A and B are shown apart, each in its own frame.
Chain A
Amino acid sequence: DAKTTQPPSMDCAEGRAANLPCNHSTISGNEYVYWYRQIHSQGPQYIIHGLKNNETNEMASLIITEDRKSSTLILPHATLRDTAVYYCIVRAPYNTDKLIFGTGTRLQVFP
């Protein structure tokens, strides 16, 4: 699986949009981009995933560049409960394929 690069930490004011970047310059054509987050002492929570097109769900939006070498997770209105470590992972779409976690981005939302 392709490696990803994320900033180690970011801050965001409550109510503002949080934009979390991820670089995956060696991504293969069939690999999806997945985003998870982990709140302290809990299991990772699935947020969103995509292949080529931008995606949006009730939690977030995922913007993937046209060359697919990078992406941005957008939390449109961050709340204190969004404070967590966010992981960007690329993986082929087979359910036998493992997820390899990097170090992620620690997002701190402040009042």
Chain B
Amino acid sequence: GAVVSQHPSRVICKSGTSVKIECRSLDFQATTMFWYRQFPKQSLMLMATSNEGSKATYEQGVEKDKFLINHASLTLSTLTVTSAHPEDSSFYICSASSPQGQGGQPQHFGDGTRLSIL
């Protein structure tokens, strides 16, 4: 089945640091990837839709200058949390769909990145 790999799995860094998270589709090409954020004991919240070769689409309330998304190839999207602060500490998860076919292909998720800002 479709596999999505996310790296790193855990990051601990100082306040003010920028952190890059990678999301790769390993066995399929993904023109669209999605980035989510999840705080403790809450559901996943969609942050943005990443489109290969074009600008990402951000959900309302998500700062595009704070969360930079790059989708330069059909298998890689990156999320950079710029000048991270303790309130950015969260679980970040990406997902991607295999190419559209019949039957509404499901999205597959990475294992998430736990970001802790000290």
Task: Give the B-binding residues of A (Cβ under 8 A).
Answer: 32, 34, 36, 38, 41-46, 49, 51, 87, 91-96, 98-104
Contact digits for B84-110, partner A, Cβ 8 Å, 1 yes 0 no:
000000010101011110011111111
Using known A-B contacts A95-B105, A98-B46, A99-B34, determine if residue A43 contacts B100 with beta carbons closer than 8 Å.
no
Q: Is the interface of A mostly helix, strand, loop or mixed?
A: loop
| Residue in A41, A45, A93 whose beta carbon sits within 8 Å of that of B114 in the complex | A41
Chain B residues with CB below 8 A from A87, complex form: 43
Chain B residues with CB below 8 A from A99, complex form: 34, 46, 95, 107
The minimal Cβ–Cβ distance linking B56 to chain A, given in whole angstroms, is 12
Query: What is the interface residue range for chain B against chain A?
Result: 20 to 34
The closest CB in chain B to the CB of A99 belongs to B107
Q: Is the interface of B mostly helix, strand, loop or mixed?
A: strand
The minimal Cβ–Cβ distance linking B13 to chain A, given in whole angstroms, is 19
Using known A-B contacts A43-B93, A99-B46, determine if residue A93 contacts B100 with beta carbons closer than 8 Å.
yes
In the complex, are the beta carbons of A32 and B104 less than 8 A apart?
yes
The closest CB in chain A to the CB of B45 belongs to A101
Using known A-B contacts A41-B112, A43-B111, determine if residue A95 contacts B46 with beta carbons closer than 8 Å.
no
Most buried by B among A42, A94, A98, A102: A98
The closest CB in chain A to the CB of B1 belongs to A46
In the complex, are the beta carbons of B111 and A42 less than 8 A apart?
yes
Q: How far is the CA of A94 from the CA of B100 in the complex (A)?
A: 7
Given A94-B100, A101-B36; 16 other pairs, CB 8 A cutoff: A41-B112, A41-B114, A43-B93, A43-B95, A43-B112, A44-B44, A46-B109, A49-B103, A49-B106, A51-B104, A93-B104, A95-B31, A95-B32, A95-B98, A96-B51, A102-B43
